[in-house]
């Protein structure tokens, strides 16, 4: 009887799949997220730097623009930063980072004081060290607001943090958004061909994105629409874009069709789901094809 019970127990354990681990947003950054944020984007920098795709792109200068942009805000991605969150309410954005931060070397920048913190720079390129492991960058107003949240007791209150914690732990890059109409109003023109994107953003109630670059690119995008008509429009638009993309591949670059083979669009009632699965060898080939090697004197 005990033998049979043991077999049943082993069979049960063998048939039980462990729950997938979910993303945990760093608490030191989560408390600094604006409560009214409509879009959060995160990068687990340490994990991203360990991926083959990142190392391949870095060796060819592929992340030069991102690194240079963050450097203007005071962040050295190559050594200082372990994690990043970018948050926006549709009008202002703040970059929040964990890592190792020191004020040495910033003495030459313009300085101002706010609630016992030193803000370096001015305008759209301000930067402050909240403590040895946390920093914030953005406009002066955005940085001051981050200092206010750091001084306040309690959490952020942003519902987007809950949405982010439902994403896979294996995501090195992720994003969650809601009420994207605010972004459409600010960044998408009302006229011209691109104005169609404005309607799509306004019709999307929420969106999530997660990407795992450990072996090629495995990514998932989900968009929840408000009405059946909006869902149909988004689904048809995405499928149309993929179809046009396939037709536009030059005859001499037929291998690029494999990129479109790795993208699937599915609709489930009001939710559109895009699955991307591109193998590592294909991504390596694309990098070789489109990214010139870095030169000895600098990035291309």
Q: How confident is the model at residue 294 (pLDDT cuts 50, 70, 90)?
A: low
Q: What is the pLDDT of residues 184-241, one digit of tens each?
A: 777 777 777 677 777 888 888 899 999 999 999 999 999 999 899 999 999 999 999 9
Following DSSP, what letter does each residue of the chain receive, concatenated?
-HHHHHHHHHHHHHHPPPPPPB----HHHHTTS-TT-SEEEEE-HHHHHTSHHHHHHHHTTTTHHHHHHHHHTT--TTTTEEEEEEEE-SS-EEEEEEE----TT-TTS-EEEETTEEEES-TT-EEEEEETTEEEEESHHHHHHHHHHHHSSS----HHHHHHTTSBTT-SEEEEEE-THHHHHHHS-SSSTTHHHHHHHHHEEEEEEEEE-SSSEEEEEEEEESSHHHHHHHHHHHHHHHHHHHHTS-GGGGGGHHHHHTEEEEEETTEEEEEEEE-HHHHHHHHHHHSPPPBTTB--
- 159 in a domain, yes or no? yes
Domain containing residue 100:
21-216+279-290
- 78 in a domain, yes or no? yes
Number of domains in the chain: 1
- 157 in a domain, yes or no? yes
- 261 in a domain, yes or no? no
Q: What is the pLDDT of residues 5-60, one digit of tens each?
A: 333 233 333 344 445 566 778 888 999 999 999 999 999 998 998 998 888 887 76
- 174 in a domain, yes or no? yes
Q: How confident is the model at residue 254 (pLDDT cuts 50, 70, 90)?
A: confident
């Amino acid at each position: 009887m005990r033998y049979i019970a043991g077999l049943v127990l082993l069979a049960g354990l063998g048939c039980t799949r462990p729950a997938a681990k979910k993303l945990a947003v760093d608490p030191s950054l989560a408390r600094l997220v604006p409560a009214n944020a409509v879009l959060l984007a995160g990068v687990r920098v340490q994990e991203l730097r360990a991926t083959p795709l990142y190392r391949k792109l870095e060796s060819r200068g592929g992340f030069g623009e991102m690194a240079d942009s963050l450097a203007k805000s005071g962040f050295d991605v190559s050594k200082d930063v372990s994690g990043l969150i970018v948050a926006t309410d549709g009008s202002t954005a703040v970059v929040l980072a964990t890592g190792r931060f020191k004020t040495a070397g910033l003495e030459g920048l313009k300085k101002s004081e706010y609630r016992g913190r030193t803000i370096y720079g001015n305008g759209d390129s301000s930067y402050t060290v909240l403590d040895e492991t946390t920093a914030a960058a953005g406009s002066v107003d955005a940085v001051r607001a981050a200092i206010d949240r750091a001084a306040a007791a309690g959490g952020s209150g942003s519902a987007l943090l809950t949405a982010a914690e439902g994403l896979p732990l294996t995501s090195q890059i992720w994003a969650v958004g809601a009420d994207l109409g605010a972004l459409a109003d600010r960044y998408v023109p009302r006229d011209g061909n691109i104005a169609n994107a404005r309607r799509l953003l306004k019709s999307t109630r929420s969106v999530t994105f997660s990407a795992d670059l450990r072996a090629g690119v495995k990514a998932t995008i989900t968009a929840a629409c408000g009405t059946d008509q909006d869902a149909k429009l988004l689904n048809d638009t995405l499928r149309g874009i993929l179809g046009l993309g396939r037709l536009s591949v030059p005859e001499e670059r037929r291998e690029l069709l494999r990129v479109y083979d790795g993208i699937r669009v599915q609709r489930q009632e009001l939710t559109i789901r895009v699955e991307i699965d591109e193998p590592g060898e294909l991504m390596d080939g694309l990098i070789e094809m489109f990214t010139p090697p870095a030169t000895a004197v600098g990035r291309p």
